[in-house]
Amino acid sequence: QVQLVESGGGLVQAGGSLRLSCAASGRTFSSYAMGWFRQAPGKEREFVAVISASGATTNYADSVKGRFTISRDNAKNTVLLQMNSLKVEDAGVYFCAAGYDADTWNVPEEYDYWGQGTQVTVST
């Protein structure tokens, strides 16, 4: 019962920063863990980051740890992904996803709802 809409993608130079936003519908947003995944051309969808329903816990892929920060504002039904020190290999379509009781948080199959994706392009 959650609709997700990502925004904030675009073109950024390597080393730069980008802030992605995911707006969720419904009053039950706070019941869902929220994850970010990305998919580069010809590659499988890859886990990026997740934040628990309460916002108390976050986890990151090793490849982005220390550079990306996930956060949420349950009052605004919004999840953010702050991406710093972007690398060429960070490029791809970024998806936000909502999962109810998503214990295996790095697996796409754990998530129940997905946004449409937003393109992130990193130039050299």
pLDDT at residue 111, rounded to an integer: 95
Report the alpha-carbon angle 122-78-98, nearest 5: 85
Residue-wise pLDDT for 11-21, tens only, equals 999 999 999 99
As a whole number, the mean pLDDT across the chain is: 94
- Which tokens sit at 117? 């994706």
Residue-wise pLDDT for 66-113, tens only, equals 999 999 998 899 999 999 999 999 999 999 999 997 778 899 999 999
CA pseudo-torsion sign 32, 28, 26, 100: positive
pLDDT at residue 17, rounded to an integer: 98
Residue among 83, 70, 75, 84 nearest 35 (CA): 70
